[in-house]
Amino acid sequence: MKIAGKEKNTLRPFVTSFFVLAIFSLSCNQPVFGTDDSGSETARDDTELSLVVGDEIDDAEISAPAFDARKVIIDHVLDAYDWHLFDISGHHVSIPLPVILIYERQFFVFSSSRLTSGNGVYRGFGIATEGPSKGRVIRVGEDGVTPDHEASTIYDFSITKNVASIFIASALICFLFIGIGRRYQKGGVYATPRGLPAFFEPLIVFVRDQIAILAIGPDYHRFMPYLLSVFFFIFLNNLLGLLPVFPGGANVTGNISVTFVLAMFTFFTTHWFANREYWKHMFNMPGVPMFLKFPVPIMPVIEIVGALIKPFVLMIRLFANMTAGHMVILSLTSLIFVLGSVSLFLGYVISPLSVLFLVFLNFLKILVAFLQAYIFTLFSAFFFGMAVPKGSH
C-alpha cells in the first residue's frame, strides 16, 4: 500500500519530524515552573516550626506534615529542573538535568543538583520559592535566600523536564519511522507490512485519507510531512505522559509553551502556502456589500481577527484538555491520602473506589491521547485547505 503519496518521499515526513520537533524543544526553555520537591531549607524550616506547640518541643507532639494534595498536583503538571523518580524514606530520588544560563554576558552550565542540595544556592543562583518567578532560577543576595531585585535579566536555556521529554520523544519518533521507511525502501511500498510497519501503516493511512485528503483535497501531498509530524509528536507525548515511571510522567502537551509553538507552526504554514484566493477572500470578500468593506473595513478586520484566533484556539484546546486530564487523575489519587489522614477507615474505604476510577480514566486517557492528536491535526488540515481553495466558495 502506498502510504505517502510518492514512493521516493517515503522518508520525508519522518525526517521533517525531527527538524520540527527539535525546534519545538527550544520553546520550553521559559515555561511556568513548579516548586521543586526538594525545595529550600527555609521552606522545610517553616513546616517544622508550624508543628511546635508551646515554648517547649516534645518529640511526641511533633507529627508528620499533612498531605498537601494541591502541591503534589501543581508540581506534577508544571515543569521542573530535575526529573523526579521516587522517594525513599523521605529522600527525593531524581535525575539532575543541565542548567544553562546567560547572565551579564557570561555563560553558566551546571547540574540542577547544585540548586537542590545543601542551601540551594550555587554561584549566586537559586530557585525562587515565592513571587512571580516561583520555581525559576533567580539571582539571590549574599545571604543565599533574599532575591536580588537589582540583578540583570537571566536568560534561561536549561534542559528542563519537559525539554528532556521532548528530546526523548523526538529520538523515539526518528528511530521508529526512519527504520520503517528503510523497510519500505527495501521491500517496496506495495509489500505486505510486517512488524512495526503493520502497526503504524493504518495510522499513517488514516492521517492521509481521513485528514489530509478530506480537509485539503488534491494538494494534500505538500502538507503531509507536517501533518504526520505533528500528529505523532502529540500522540507519542500524550502516551508518555500517562506512564508513571521514567521516561514518562512529563506533561509536555499540557505546557502552554509547547502548544503555543505547535499552533504557531500551523499559523505560519497556513499563510506561507496561502494562494491568491485566500488573500482576496480575507481583504475583499466576494458577495459582501461594499459598505462593509469601505470606507470602514469591517469584514477585513473580522477576517484578520479570525485568522489570529484560529491558532489561539488550537493552543488552548490542547493545553487545557491535557492539563485537566492529569489533574483529574492526580486528584483521585490524592483523595486516598487526604481521607486517610482524616480517618484510616475512610482511607481504606475510598481506596478501591479510587483505584477503579483511576483504571477507567487511564484507559479513557489513551483514547483522549489519540483524540487530541487527531483534533489538532484535523483542524490544522482544515486551515491549510482554506488557504489553498480551489475555485469560488
pLDDT at res. 243? 85
Burial of 58 (0-12, 13-18, 19+ CB in 10 A): exposed
Pairing of strands 98-103, 154-156: antiparallel
pLDDT at res. 119? 74
How far apart are the C-alpha atoms of 173 and 236, rounded to whole Å? 8
The label of the residue with cell 506495495 reads: 190
pLDDT at res. 18? 46
Helices (H) and strands (E) in the chain, counts: 12, 8
Let me know: does 240 contact 252? Beta carbons within 8 Å.
yes
pLDDT at res. 7? 39
pLDDT at res. 309? 92
Cell numbers standing for residue 22:
527539535
Task: Kindly give, in sequence order, each residue whose CB lies less than 8 Å from that of residue 7, ignoring residues fewer than 6 positions away.
Answer: 189
Helix, strand, coil % in the chain, rounded to nearest 5: 60, 10, 30
pLDDT at res. 36? 41
How far apart are the C-alpha atoms of 28 and 256, rounded to whole Å? 9
> Per-residue pLDDT for the chain (393 aa), expressed as one digit of tens each?
444 444 344 445 544 544 444 444 444 444 444 444 444 443 334 433 333 334 443 443 444 556 777 777 777 778 888 888 877 877 778 888 999 999 888 899 998 888 877 677 888 888 887 777 777 888 887 776 778 887 888 898 999 999 999 999 999 999 988 888 888 888 776 777 777 888 888 999 999 999 999 999 888 998 999 999 999 999 999 999 888 888 888 889 989 999 999 999 999 999 999 888 888 888 887 777 887 777 778 888 888 898 899 999 999 999 999 888 888 888 888 888 888 888 888 888 888 888 888 888 888 888 999 999 999 999 999 999 988 876 544
- The residues spanned by each domain of the chain are 7-28+162-387, 32-159
